Chain A
Amino acid sequence: MALHAQAPPSTGRPLRAEQQRANRRAARRRKARALLFLAPLLGLNLLVVVGPSVATVWYSFTDWSGLGPATFVGLDNYTRAFGDPLVRAALMHNLIWFVLFLSVPMGLGLLGAFLLSQITRFQMLFRALFFIPYVVASVVNASVWKSLLSPTNGIGHALGELGVPWIGDVAFLGDTSTSLISVNFVVDWHFWGFVAVIFLAAMQGVDPELYDAAKVDGANRWQQFTAVTLPGIRPTVVFLVLMTVIWSLKAFDYIYVMTQGGPAGSSEVVSTYMYKVAFSQYEAGYAASLGLSMAFVTALVLAVYQLVRKRGWEA
């Protein structure tokens, strides 16, 4: 046990061979012990994530149904995915989702965070209220908004009763032209408070002297925001933009609960489509190729993030 307290062997002192061997043994034992502590984490990761991920790579080249044996079919699944109009439609929906999911929560989050950073009283209260929808379960949020967006007793209906034109009879979730943006709106609603809190923390890290300098130069609040706040929180903005790409690709819960991808596929995204392919159509091999492609895009985005960080464009 006491060996652990020794300094690492590279102290530069000349050591006798026996002592060196003993030190190496001790170092090996220390490493083995460290790995023992990591073993539950790595073991579970291997069992649940790595193993099945490797299996996905193999299955993506087969015609596997999800149960029986799998036959190697080469790149068939991938060529099929490229030609599949449903994949194309789903990707298009993911793209629309991304644009909305990037602009709405970011805009509201920036607004909320900036306002919070300017006040002192009730800051914690507002922060808590903004954040609450984020901690509420997706199934609950989805169910609340399902009734609020309903054409018979929702907000639109109430506004229609008050005499607001058009909105009274819109079935937001049941109409092919509004289903996707309606679900996205609900996701934005539950998410923007989280973004606001992240931005607020970043804004509080901006050097107050920069604001004083801007004020001396006669900058108004808006100019201070664009010249000091935004550049000051740029790393956070870059991070959130790239994560939004990943989150948009992963979008699943709310769509699955609120529209199941419908009506008529109008809110189908890649992850809900892949789920159907795997568990309703029993084409697990094809689903595997879609899942692997999603992971590939995600890894690409993370690589870009690393690159941006290393190059220091954001600092």
Chain B
Amino acid sequence: MTAPTLTRPAPPAGDAGPRRRRREPSHRPYYLVLVVLALFAIGPLVTLVFNALKDNASIGTSPLTPPTELSLDNFAQAWTQGDFATTMRNSAILCLGTVAGVCVIAGLAAYALSHLEVPASGAVIGWLFLGSALPVQLFLVPLFFMWTNLGLTDSLFGLMIIYWATDSPFATLLLRSFLIKVPKDYQEAARLDGASELRIIMRVMLPLAWPGFLTVGLIAGLWAWNEFFWAITFVHDPALRPISTSFLAFQDQFSTDLALTSAAAIFMLGPVVILFLVLQRRFVAGLTSGGVK
């Protein structure tokens, strides 16, 4: 199964011509609707930022308006009460470990599927597509049983292994699409010079396909940071919770304190949105090609 391939948005053809310029005013209603849609998309998150900067009294009287005075008290209070130093560290470990593992595992597999002779490679690729579309409910319960017996529940490493396994198929397919563009001549020239396969990957493939690795790394990191289902099922120890499930627990505990929970939500949302705005193209390209998941 193949997702429709997405090409990088080309500049719309012919828009700059004088013929179009004459019709420019007719685009105004388009912009009007686009602004309404943008407000719909972003408005709720903007009210979150507002609430994080207000105190509960002013949220109570006018919940949806901007703050009248800026206060960072909520952030300081949420940081200590939610123990975000610990959960952020846990999530950082999870993200880095997941990104590194997925890049290595998927990188090796993608190299094999693009430049080596894999027997029944079509079947392998087909399975990778199918495997990433199947619902996790298919293997959830026996996996939990096995992880309990192996002592891998309540363990960041145990959670990381699951992320490696569930993210790598998608990452392999994405990286393969990058590696397949590297001409075989390069690889064969390196081989004739006596380079080992691993050396070829490090010295030939990585430098040429690094945008692919960057994309895969970003997506795997984003998923590990945001992931919630596996974390809540497999990690119950509060000291080991990643930010997603600890935020949820925090929000349940302080459900009446909207100012505090909003500040906590900013801790989780902030890094993602900033990174997204900086590397927008790469995020969009990676996530839209992973539409199967």
Q: Which residues of A line the B interface, CB within 8 A?
A: 1-2, 4-5, 27, 30-31, 33-35, 37-38, 40-42, 44-45, 47-49, 51-53, 55-56, 59, 66-67, 108, 111-112, 115-120, 122-124, 126-141, 143-145, 147-148, 153-155, 157-158, 189, 192-194, 197-198, 200-202, 204-205, 208, 235-236, 239, 243, 246, 249-250, 252-253, 256-257, 271, 274-275, 278-279, 284, 287-288, 290-292, 294-295, 298-299, 302, 305-306, 309
Identify the stretch in B66-74, B75-83, B269-277 within 8 Å (CB) of chain A at 4 or more residues: B269-277
30 pairs from A and B in contact (CB 8 Å cutoff): A1-B191, A2-B191, A40-B108, A42-B109, A48-B166, A49-B131, A52-B140, A52-B142, A55-B142, A56-B141, A122-B34, A129-B38, A132-B42, A137-B268, A137-B272, A139-B228, A140-B48, A140-B268, A143-B251, A157-B63, A194-B291, A197-B288, A198-B288, A249-B135, A252-B229, A278-B141, A284-B141, A294-B137, A298-B134, A309-B2
Most buried by B among A143, A158, A249: A143
Partner of B108, one of A41, A198, A236, A250: A41
Q: Is the interface of A mostly helix, strand, loop or mixed?
A: helix
Q: How far is the CA of A77 from the CA of B44 in the complex (A)?
A: 43
Q: Which residues of B contact A154 (CB under 8 A)?
A: 63
Assess the B6–A250 pair: CB atoms within 8 A.
no
**Most A CB within 10 A of own CB, among B15, B48, B192:** B48
Which residues 156-190 of B have a CB within 8 angstroms of A? Answer: 161-162, 164-166, 168-169, 172, 188
**How far is B233's CA from A49's CA once the two chains are assembled, in angstroms?**
16
B124 interface residue per 8 A CB criterion:
yes
> Chain A interface: which of B92-100, B114-122, B208-216?
B114-122
Are the C-beta atoms of B161 and A38 separated by less than 8 Å?
no
The residue from A27, A122, A204, A246 contacting B117, defined by CB atoms under 8 A apart: A27
Cβ contacts under 8 Å, A243 to chain B = 291-292
Q: Which of A119, A133, A140, A157 contacts B27 (CB 8 A)?
A: A119
B contact residues, range: 35 or more
The minimal Cβ–Cβ distance linking B236 to chain A, given in whole angstroms, is 11
**A148 neighbours in B (Cβ, 8 Å):** 44, 47
Q: Are B7 and A204 in contact (CB under 8 A)?
A: yes
Report A-chain residues with C-beta under 8 Å of the C-beta of B47. Answer: 144, 148
Known: A31-B118, A49-B139, A153-B258. A40 touches B244 (CB 8 A): no
**A302 adjacent to B133 (CB under 8 Å):** yes
Determine the residue in chain B with the shortest Cβ distance to A143: B251
Select which of B116, B228, B287 is within 8 A of A30 by beta carbon.
Answer: B116
* Nearest 5 interchain pairs by C-beta: A48-B165, A52-B139, A55-B142, A291-B137, A34-B116
For B33, B225, B269, which residue has the most chain A Cβ atoms within 10 angstroms?
A: B269
A253-B112 contact given A140-B269, A295-B138, CB 8 Å threshold: no
Q: Which of A108, A201, A271, A284 has the most CB of B within 10 A?
A: A201
Q: How far is the CA of A77 from the CA of B238 in the complex (A)?
A: 35
Docked Cα-Cα span, A305 to B194, in Å, equals 45
B151 contacts A by Cβ under 8 Å: no
What residues on B are CB-neighbors of A53 within 8 Å? 134, 138-139, 142
Interface centre among B45, B273, B283 (most CB of A within 10 A): B45
Tell me which of A2, A127, A133, A155 contacts B284 (CB under 8 A). A127
Complex contact A136–B272 (CB within 8 A) = yes
Structural contact, A201 and B7, CB atoms closer than 8 A: yes
A37→B108 contact, CB < 8 A: yes
- CB of A37 within 8 A of CB of B109, answer yes
B3 to chain A: which residues have CB within 8 Å? 239
> In the complex, which residue of chain B has the Cβ closest to the Cβ of A287?
B141
B135 touches A294 (CB 8 A): yes
Known: A5-B192, A47-B161; 9 extra A-B contacts, CB below 8 A, are A1-B196, A34-B119, A40-B109, A115-B30, A123-B9, A128-B276, A131-B283, A140-B265, A250-B135
Cα(A56)–Cα(B138), bound, Å: 7
In the complex, B104 has a CB within 8 A of chain A: yes
- Closest Cβ of chain A: how far from B277's Cβ, in Å? 7
Cβ B108 vs Cβ A139 within 8 A = no
What 0/1 readout, one digit per residue, does chain B (230-272) give for beta carbons within 8 Å of chain A? 0001000000000011011001000000100100010011001
A34–B143 touching, CB < 8 Å: no
Q: Are B41 and A49 in contact (CB under 8 A)?
A: no
- List B contacts of A205 (CB < 8 A): 7
User: Given A33-B197, A41-B106, A279-B233, A158 and B63 touching (CB < 8 A)?
Assistant: yes
- B60 touches A (CB below 8 Å): yes
Query: What is the CA–CA distance of A286 and B28 in the complex, to the nearest angstrom?
Result: 57
- Nearest B residue to A114 by beta-carbon distance? B30
> B104 — which chain A residues lie within 8 A by C-beta?
40
The smallest C-beta distance from A183 to any residue of chain B, in angstroms, reads: 14
Distance between Cα atoms of A133 and B48 in the complex (Å): 13
CB of B146 within 8 Å of the partner chain: yes
Cβ-defined partner of B33 (8 Å) among A4, A111, A139, A198: A111
* Among candidates B44, B137, B287, residue contacting A295 with C-beta atoms closer than 8 Å: B137
- Distance in Å: Cβ of A12 to nearest Cβ of chain B: 19
CB distance from B230 to the nearest CB of A (A): 10
